[in-house]
């Protein structure tokens, strides 16, 4: 579809705002109960839903649980089964690290390991960024080279960090299995390469894990590392050129800034932490006249789900609801609310469940849905859609697509 959109896209003065409420989809805590969205008090979202079209989105396919990278790529119009990228590259680019051909970047979690190397906490209690910087410095002083390969370690956020293995003329492969089992009560996995060049990377990863555990053995909480999301340098069709949109990203967390940068969006500077909602809206306001497409990312609806905190996820949804009128005051011609995946707090992780989609435009048909919730979205006129349908729908509602065929 990208080739078709490239032919049909046209420039116009209308403005599109896509708000991605990360991991917003949820599940009830008890049978016949309400999800986090349905439990939240959201008068502004409710009023918006009554003026909008609603539906559901599967980001990858039926029953497939999407990672954040594939979920976002799908929303941006890129088939995630065709365009793939590891989380390592997204995180690296997001914090401004340049990758060269043959390098491999990998996303890491600091973890708490109990006796016998059993994982007690995959996120080491979500340490502060300052604590992350301290531990990264400690590791960096001890691990700058492995088997003749240069190793660089960077802070990302909280428990997350990035490691880049520099190829130095000998290519490294990214086809490596995860160290992170994404579960507690079990030991870390051993990385394995699925081809010759990736086997070399796997050996470096396993050496790093062993060395890191030795360096961190006296730490009270951060005493282990977990890896997943290996990636070399990815290449994508340019989003602003395909859709003919002056495009901007408003996000705080490096991975999402990295993905937006890789597809060609301008990444705007946002002061404050990941939860700095007011600062994000102010950034949107400050740059309103310069762009006609804004991707606005809200993170904590996902983090609270991963922590299993139902009430806090409800609270984060309510905080966004309080902020919504400020976005509407800017007068976007098309406003979309959607998630990049579901993160039910009952599951403490991403899930396969479709996410609710809302599109508000002056050219939308009347809908039956009256709230922005999973159940109401099932009533909506947009039906069940693939994630790659979202951008064409937004373009059409913004009157930015020409007719197809004679």
Q: What is the pLDDT of residue 406?
A: 80
Give the residue from 174, 5, 182 showing the smallest Cα distance to 78. 5
Residue from 309, 395, 384, 398 nearest 55 by CA:
384
What are the phi and psi torsion angles at 85 (to 5°)?
Answer: -155, 135
Res. 161 pLDDT band, cuts 50 70 90: very high
Structural contact between residues 180 and 109, judged by C-beta atoms closer than 8 angstroms: yes
DSSP at 123? T
The whole-angstrom separation of Cα 41 and Cα 56 is: 21
**Least confident interval from 178-187, 245-254, 361-370:** 361-370
pLDDT at 93: 84
Check whether 254 has a pLDDT greater than 90.
no
Higher pLDDT: 255 or 77? It is 77
What pLDDT is attached to residue 337? 98
Tell me the per-residue pLDDT of 285-320, one tens digit each, with 9 for 90 and over: 999 999 999 999 999 999 999 999 999 999 999 999
Classify the C-alpha dihedral 97-340-325-263 as positive or negative: positive
Report the DSSP pairing between strands 266-267 and 355-361.
Answer: unpaired
Beta bridge partners of 360: 335
Query: What are 81-108's pLDDT values in tens digits?
Result: 999 878 888 888 888 898 888 899 999 9
Query: Under a CB-based contact definition with an 8 Å cutoff, are residues 37 and 315 in contact?
Result: no
If 0-12 CB within 10 Å is exposed, 13-18 middle and 19+ buried, where does residue 274 land?
Answer: buried
What φ, ψ does residue 152 adopt, rounded to 5°? -120, 135
- Residue-wise pLDDT tens digits, 122-145: 999 999 999 999 999 999 999 999
Assign residue 336 a region (left: φ > 0; alpha: ψ between -120 and 50; beta: otherwise).
beta
Whether 276 has a pLDDT exceeding 90, the answer reads: no
Least confidently predicted of 48-57, 65-74, 227-236, 281-290: 227-236
Question: Domains in the chain and their CATH numbers?
Answer: 2-84+236-397 (3.40.720.10), 91-231 (3.30.70)
**316-335: pLDDT as tens digits:** 999 999 999 999 999 999 99
Please, which pLDDT band fits residue 274 given cuts at 50, 70 and 90?
low
Half-sphere exposure of 320 (CA within 13 A, CB side): 24
Q: Is the per-residue pLDDT at 7 higher than 90?
A: yes
Q: How confident is the model at residue 258 (pLDDT cuts 50, 70, 90)?
A: confident
Q: What is the mean pLDDT of residues 57-64?
A: 97
């Amino acid at each position: 579809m990208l080739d078709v959109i490239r032919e049909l896209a046209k420039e116009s003065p209308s403005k599109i705002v896509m708000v991605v409420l990360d991991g917003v989809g949820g599940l009830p805590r008890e049978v016949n109960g309400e999800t986090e969205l349905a439990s939240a008090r959201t008068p502004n979202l409710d009023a918006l839903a009554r003026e909008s079209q609603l539906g559901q989105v599967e980001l990858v396919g039926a029953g497939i649980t999407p990672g954040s990278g594939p979920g976002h790529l799908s929303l941006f119009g890129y088939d995630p089964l065709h365009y793939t990228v590891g989380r390592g590259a997204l995180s690296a680019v997001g914090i401004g690290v340049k990758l060269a051909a043959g390098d491999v970047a990998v996303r890491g979690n600091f973890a708490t390991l109990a006796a016998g190397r059993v994982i007690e906490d995959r996120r080491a209690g979500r340490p502060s960024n300052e604590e992350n910087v301290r531990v990264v410095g400690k590791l960096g002083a001890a691990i700058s080279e492995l088997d003749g390969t240069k190793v660089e370690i960077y802070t990302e956020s909280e428990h997350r960090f990035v490691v880049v293995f520099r190829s130095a003329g000998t290519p490294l492969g990214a086809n490596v299995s995860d160290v992170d089992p994404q579960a507690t009560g079990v030991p870390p996995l051993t990385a394995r390469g699925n081809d010759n060049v990736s086997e070399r990377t796997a050996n470096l990863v396993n050496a790093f894990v062993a060395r890191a555990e030795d360096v961190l053995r006296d730490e009270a909480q951060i005493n282990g590392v977990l890896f997943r999301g290996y990636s070399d340098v990815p290449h994508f069709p340019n989003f602003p050129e395909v859709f003919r949109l002056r495009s901007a990203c408003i996000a705080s967390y490096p991975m999402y800034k990295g993905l937006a940068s890789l597809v060609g969006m301008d990444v705007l500077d946002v002061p404050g932490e990941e939860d700095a909602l007011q600062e994000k809206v102010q950034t949107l306001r400050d740059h309103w006249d310069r762009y006609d497409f804004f991707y606005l990312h809200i993170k904590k609806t996902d983090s609270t789900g991963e922590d299993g905190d139902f009430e806090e996820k409800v609270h984060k949804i309510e905080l966004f609801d309080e902020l919504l009128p400020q976005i509407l005051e800017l007068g976007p011609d098309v406003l979309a609310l959607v998630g990049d995946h579901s993160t039910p707090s009952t599951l403490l992780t991403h899930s396969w469940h479709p996410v609710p989609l809302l599109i508000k435009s002056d050219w939308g048909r009347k809908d039956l849905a009256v709230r922005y919730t999973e159940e109401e979205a099932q009533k909506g006129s947009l039906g069940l859609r693939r994630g790659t349908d979202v951008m064409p729908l937004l373009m059409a509602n913004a009157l930015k697509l020409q007719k197809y065929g004679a």
